[in-house]
Homo-oligomer: A and B are copies of this chain.
């Protein structure tokens, strides 16, 4: 994934959240400071979400162990839900709670398109417009 394309995806989600959920900010220096930081932070007065954004061309995306762990740690301390937003080309956005990401071989994590389809939420589900049944329970946050 090119950096430019990642930024475009992030901006797209930024505007989706503003329009349908609540205020959202893009985090400065995300991925380039020694402090852990998600790509986006969004809140609507009831929920706060820390979101790591990815755009992928193929069918699968690997994540470094530290990337997922930092998202979890940041979110727990900040008081936010940790989400991975992944956009597969021509197939839209899927949202996977960081507790649900599957560990692949070794220390890295994997989100495949099949997994996202089965275990991820679509945008309307994420923001609670339709079913909330697959949202994680409070205990798992």
Complex partner residue of A22 from B24, B43, B44, B77, CB under 8 angstroms: B77
| Residues of chain B with a CB closer than 8 A to A22's CB | 77-79
- Among the stretches A28-36, A54-62, A131-139, the one at the interface with B is A28-36
Docked pose: A36 CA to B18 CA in angstroms:
11
**A27 in contact (CB, < 8 A):** yes
> A35's closest neighbor in chain B, by CB?
B18
- Beta-carbon contact of B48 and A48 below 8 Å: yes
Closest residue to A33 on the B side, CB-wise?
Answer: B26
Instruction: Flag if A74 contacts B28 (CB, 8 Å).
Output: no
Interface residues of A (CB under 8 A from B): 18, 22-30, 35-38, 41-46, 48, 74, 76-80
Cβ contacts A to B, 15 pairs, < 8 Å: A18-B35, A22-B78, A23-B36, A23-B74, A24-B35, A25-B27, A25-B28, A25-B41, A26-B28, A27-B28, A45-B76, A45-B78, A45-B79, A46-B79, A48-B78
Of all A-B residue pairs in the complex, the 5 with the closest CB atoms, nearest first, are: A43-B78, A45-B79, A26-B28, A28-B28, A23-B78
